Amino acid sequence: MHYFQSRAEAGEQLAEQLFEKYRYENVAVVALSDGGVAVGEPVAERLHCVLTMLVSEGVDLPGENQHFGAVSQTGNFTHNSDLAASEIQEYTSEFHGYFEEKKREAFHKINRLIGDGGVIDHDMLRDHTVILVNDGMNDTMALDVALDFLKPVRYGKLVIATPMASVEVVDKVHAIADELHILDVKENYMDTNHYYESNDLPSHEETIGKINQIVLNWR
């Protein structure tokens, strides 16, 4: 069983791994969640690069504990890649109005948090090696959204860095990324918080405020 004292400690370990290879490269660290920001901070510090965040809001299937997909800060909706095309079609026809409403709510929520324009833009990532960081990966929803967001961007390499991931996720992301940095692969992935002794994260608002500051200073 691999436990980390905190997300910052896990981030330090990832920073160690990434430092030699990327310290002279043009790199951008993109966190995929609040916890991802806490892990990404030590990485960005070691690599002297910008740390930003792709904010997304999940849209769940009604009455089920599964994402139908997620809305990113561009308003783009990405389906959960774990669902088959036939399932997506079926759910869409059955719950069309419900999903449209939830997508609108999700987009409003994001805009309320980060203001128009968001905390990340394509220019920051162009021609950079993009390191996508999360505090744990039990599904690829956040990654699916990130890949959608990156489609129009001409970037260098795509690196995925996370303290732990489930076996299923690792199998899936091998095909997506140029490089994986995963400290621990879990057979039976429990809740991400379970693997950290300390789980006192700042609020979502505080995390986004911090990212806005970093980005402003960087520009």
pLDDT tens digits, one per residue of 128-166 = 999 999 999 998 888 999 999 999 999 999 999 999 999
Domain span at residue 92? 58-114
The owner of tokens 């990156």 is 150
**Distance in angstroms (rounded) separating the CA atoms of residues 166 and 90:** 28
Asked whether residue 1 is assigned to any structural domain, the reply reads no
* CATH number of domain containing 140: 3.40.50.2020
The domain boundary residue, chosen from 72, 93, 114:
114
pLDDT band, very low/low/confident/very high, at 114 (cuts 50, 70, 90): confident
Taking residues 40-64, report their average pLDDT.
91
pTM: 0.89
pLDDT in tens, 166-194: 999 999 898 889 999 999 999 999 999 99
The domain boundary residue, chosen from 97, 114, 131:
114
Asked whether residue 171 is assigned to any structural domain, the reply reads yes
pLDDT band, very low/low/confident/very high, at 1 (cuts 50, 70, 90): low
Tell me whether strands 56-60 and 50-53 are parallel, antiparallel or unpaired: unpaired
Nearest by Cα to 169 from 212, 138, 148, 132: 138
pLDDT band, very low/low/confident/very high, at 120 (cuts 50, 70, 90): confident
**Is the model more confident about 215 or about 118?**
215
Do residues 108 and 164 share a domain? no
pLDDT band, very low/low/confident/very high, at 116 (cuts 50, 70, 90): low
Sign of CA dihedral 33, 34, 38, 44: positive
Tell me whether strands 56-60 and 67-72 are parallel, antiparallel or unpaired: antiparallel
Do residues 135 and 88 share a domain? no
Do residues 62 and 49 share a domain? no
Do residues 124 and 185 share a domain? yes
**Is the model more confident about 113 or about 160?**
160
| Helix (DSSP H) and strand (DSSP E) numbers for the chain | 7, 8
Taking residues 56-83, report their average pLDDT.
90
Asked whether residue 109 is assigned to any structural domain, the reply reads yes
Do residues 97 and 197 share a domain? no
Q: What are 124's two structure tokens?
A: 């920051």
The owner of tokens 């940095």 is 181
Number of domains in the chain: 2
Asked whether residue 2 is assigned to any structural domain, the reply reads no
